[in-house]
Amino acid sequence: MTEKKGRTALLISSLLFVIVVASLLMLPGLRKRGQNGYHSYLPVPPAAEAAEINSWTQAVQKVKEDRGEPVGKQAKIETPPQLRHYSDTRRFLAVQYAEWREHQFETPKDFADLAQMLKRGEMVELRPVTRDYILFGVGGSANKEPFTHYADRKRITLYGEAELGKEYARMAESRTNLANEITAVRQEIDSLGKRETARRVKLQSQVSEKEKSLKVESEREKLLDSNYGDSDGRQQLFSAYEALENLAKSLPGRTYDISDLHSRKELKVRMLSSLRPEAVKVMEEVALAYSQKFNRPLPLTSLVRPDEYQHALSKVNPNATRMETPPHSTGLAFDIYNKFMTAEEQSFVMDYLARLKDEGRIEVLRENRDHYHVFAFIDGARPGEELIRASLNKTRSIEEPKEKQLGD
């Protein structure tokens, strides 16, 4: 018995030692995460399978690996003229806008539009990680909010027919409960004695709060009526919801429940991990060259952005343009993250991109904070100069870019 107790004590002591050591080892990482936020810690992409998660984690480590020399903005590099601003800073966006005007292809206004484009093959979903590239925080600004129809900068919450009925039932129940609670509190107020002033004030405050909540529910119902009251409009909204629901059930690897908050966010991140085939071709070419040269994957932080997502992002990220048909909404733009690249790595990538620009295949800019913005032309040719000049007034002058958010 004594020997058994001794073994148990030894086991407990060993476990405690392991926990303490592990905690000490984690502290620097936790401090670093606290200091650098999202840049130091990336969530595992929701589309990754178990084996792929391990590959993705290894790729992150490879991207952030200590090179033993200055990286990012600390590295001394010379930016090629092809990656600098034009003298007329409107021209950079005008070139990309002109490409859209020339081809007049559809761009996604919201996630429902993006779902339909993915189904038709107009957008291509990228894997979270391959040998040559890694999605390094793509969709970092995705939220858990319900999917919406987005038009004229207004958002309408999407419901299926059954879900709409449930929402009306929920609101009716909520209004009934609030009305009953208000009645009960008022009855209690009426029963109070004249000297119970403090209690009366407290209950009156409760009545006021419940009446506000009741008003909010009534306004929600009126809004729902205005959005879903028209037969044609209602069917359009139902169709948008159905497109999302069908995509959520048909993506390879796993299904998603768009009524669930966490599942909804994961689906948004996965949908944002997409590009047009023409942009995929350019991205894979650059990634292959970088991977072969430096034996590490090329980190990508931003791909397609529906207009709804782009406009929401522009409120927190000064670099996210608010122009009509922003470059990322076309699905032809992607961002390369250079924060962990040495001078040699950055020079290699910039020289490669400069050559592609000289060939007329892309528009590109080295942004002020750790990114190269790349825009691929659909037919591998820059739009005509006349169309570019005509597009200048559709864009605003670009100031020196400010903070670039990772994973937007």
Q: What is the pLDDT of residues 101-160, one digit of tens each?
A: 999 999 999 999 999 999 999 999 999 999 999 999 899 899 999 999 998 889 999 999
Q: Which residues of 177-214 are buried (b: 16+ CB within 10 A; e: fewer)?
A: ebeeebeebeeebeeeeeeeeeebeebeeebeebeebb
- Whether residue 337 is found in the same domain as residue 313: yes
Of 270, 236, 273, nearest to 250 by C-alpha is: 270
- Whether residue 178 is found in the same domain as residue 312: no
Residue 401 has pLDDT above 90, yes or no: no
- CA 118 to chain CA centroid, nearest Å: 17
pLDDT at residue 19 in the model: 41
Instruction: Find the domain containing 137 and state its range.
Output: 72-147+270-394
- Whether residue 121 is found in the same domain as residue 100: yes
Contact of 134 with 401, CB cutoff 8 Å = no
pLDDT at residue 49 in the model: 57
- Does residue 50 lie in a domain region? no
- CA 14 to chain CA centroid, nearest Å: 43
- Whether residue 315 is found in the same domain as residue 367: yes
- Whether residue 139 is found in the same domain as residue 278: yes
Distance CA 318, CA 322 (A): 10
- Does residue 56 lie in a domain region? no
pLDDT at residue 47 in the model: 54
- Whether residue 122 is found in the same domain as residue 213: no
Distance CA 372, CA 254 (A): 32
Band (397; pLDDT cuts 50, 70, 90): low
pLDDT at residue 274 in the model: 98
Residue that wins the pLDDT comparison between 18 and 244: 244
- Does residue 53 lie in a domain region? no
Distance CA 197, CA 247 (A): 59
- Whether residue 223 is found in the same domain as residue 126: no
Single residue among 193, 228, 256 that ends a domain in this structure: 256
pTM value is 0.81
- Whether residue 244 is found in the same domain as residue 188: yes
Band (407; pLDDT cuts 50, 70, 90): low
Distance CA 282, CA 287 (A): 9
Residue that wins the pLDDT comparison between 54 and 26: 54
- Does residue 67 lie in a domain region? no
- Whether residue 302 is found in the same domain as residue 347: yes
Single residue among 256, 283, 314 that ends a domain in this structure: 256
Q: Report the CATH number at residue 127.
A: 3.30.1380
> Looking at the 3D structure of the chain, how many domains does it have?
3
